[in-house]
Chains A and B, each alone.
Chain A
Amino acid sequence: MLERGLEEKTYVLNLGPQHPSTHGVLRVELEMEGEFIIKADPDIGYGHRGHEHMAENRTYAQFLPNMGRVDYLHALAYNQCYCMGVEKLLELQVPERAEYIRVITAELNRLTSHFLWVGAYLMDLGAFTPFLYCFDDREQVLDLLDYLTGSRLTYCFYRFGGVPVDIDDDFTAGCRKFIQRLRGRWVDYDNLVTKNVIFIHRTRDVGVITQEQCIKYGLTGPMVRGSGIPYDIRKSEPYSAYPAFDFEIPIGERGDVMDRYLVRMREMEQSLRIIEQALDKLPAGPIMAEKIPKRLKPAAGEVYAAVETARGEFGCYIVSAGDTKPYRIKLRVPSFGNLSILPEIAVDTLVADLVAILGSIDVVVPEIDR
């Protein structure tokens, strides 16, 4: 048994791996002095499935369903990034209509991810009701995506060269009805959450991240936008049909937890704008590229493709050795970089604040573990 003297001031506290606020199986080893954290050491890897190893043992097409399981909350963005990478390797041109359908579905999926985040995050902070509101709205989107793609969570909807199913009038009408419904709901969210004084006190000036830290830790997504850097791959490195749409990048001022919440909430409205414009401007034409080889064997080379997911930049680095299987696929996942700043910003905070900070990073642990 470990002997400890009375002068010993610190003790170790385990947050997780089965703590509700860790959103998956994440353990944070905390060294505490009273209620204050002296040192935080996240322990990841509980959900390591070896996606990158699987990639080397599968053909390009066989690896596609894996992409929906890396980050199951914004699966379509991961589908899209991987498809973009392989399309670049194969030099495939995706028809415009397919790009629009990709944008519409990826943005709907971003909404579901943000809804789940808002609901679960507020539950971490002790508010149960917003969770029910969020899941009510999220359910509507899931029904739409279910109608089109056939699944509700781990989507595998895009194909190399386009999309397999065209959207129809029912889907379009459903989208428009949903947009209208959600626009009327923002005021409810504002009254229920954003103006809630308990919520404000829990989040204002907590977990502040400076712009310098964003650069040093390679943060992306709402983490950097909350700190006032307007970095969004959809704008800064335009891909798919995004250049055709008019939307804004919401940014915060102080870089605290509250700003990251506000960025995500305002981003949802921008997603609605994108979907609306895409439905209005949807071009006619084919949804799949012509002449896609049956056996995919890209020439030797490497490619880096990046998309903006709900959590930040997802990069797919594919190295081809001219074989039917990839030589190496590195999945640059946003949560991995975003979580790596936790040991720095957790120091000198209370455990209750750590829960607020950890939630504001919006980690999806299986994505970090891969």
Chain B
Amino acid sequence: MLRDNIQKALAPLQLEQVAVGDYAKTGCHLDATAAPEQMPAVAEALLSLGCFLESLTCLHYPEHFTLVYHFANFQELCRLAVHVKVPFDQEAPSISHIYPGANWYEREAYDLYGIRFTGHPDLRRILLPFDADFHPLLKKFGESPADA
């Protein structure tokens, strides 16, 4: 089963957490938490199992960013969500050399949140004009809810 294979492939990487998810509730069969520097190794392990990068996005919390990677597979139903906490002053390693499809997703995360990816070949804005001076999805914590 693919779920077991993914767990087996991720075991040597010693991620913070790899747990079986509640599919009926969250839509994910596996939930993992990883450190930013582990992501390229995670991506390589998943590519060797034939998984594809379904989506990559960012969440803004008062203390840190969280990158959320979703991986799925064409042959068998198994969705893996990887949560990666990235401190505000830190860059996340790019996985675009492993999954070329991540190139645009990482540009989008940079565009909307200002989070930077180390090793990205072409980290430009993608949706907003190139000369925009703000990152629209950053939350304004501590202000009135109307401005959030």
- Which residues on A are within 8 Å of B, measured CB to CB? 44-45, 48, 50, 52-53, 56-57, 85, 88, 214-219, 224, 229, 231, 236-237, 301-306, 313, 315, 317, 319, 327-328, 330, 332, 336-337, 340-341, 344, 369-370
Contacts and interface: CB of A to CB of B under 8 A. Distances in A.
Contact of B57 (A303, A305, A330): A330
B95 to A, nearest CB: 11
A217 B100 contact: yes
Q: Which of B28, B54, B77 has the most CB of A within 10 A?
A: B54
Contact of A216 (B99, B127, B136): B99
B57 A237 contact: no
Nearest to A45: B127
**Chain B interface residue number, banded:** 35 or more
Given A215-B51, A330-B57, 18 more contacts: A45-B125, A45-B128, A53-B137, A56-B137, A88-B25, A88-B26, A88-B27, A216-B100, A216-B101, A218-B99, A219-B101, A304-B70, A315-B54, A319-B59, A332-B54, A332-B70, A340-B100, A340-B103
Interface of B: 24-28, 47, 50-55, 57, 59-60, 68, 70, 74, 77, 79, 81, 99-101, 103-104, 108, 112, 125-129, 136-137, 139, 148
Closest 9 CB pairs between A and B? Answer: A304-B27, A332-B55, A217-B101, A45-B127, A330-B57, A218-B101, A231-B74, A218-B52, A48-B127
Given A330-B57, A370-B127, A304 B104 contact: no
A366 to B, nearest CB: 12
Contacts of B81: 304
Given A217-B101, A328-B59, A369-B127, A53 B70 contact: no
20 contacts: A45-B128, A85-B27, A214-B74, A216-B99, A216-B101, A218-B101, A236-B77, A237-B77, A303-B25, A303-B27, A304-B26, A305-B27, A330-B55, A330-B68, A337-B101, A337-B104, A340-B100, A340-B103, A341-B101, A344-B100
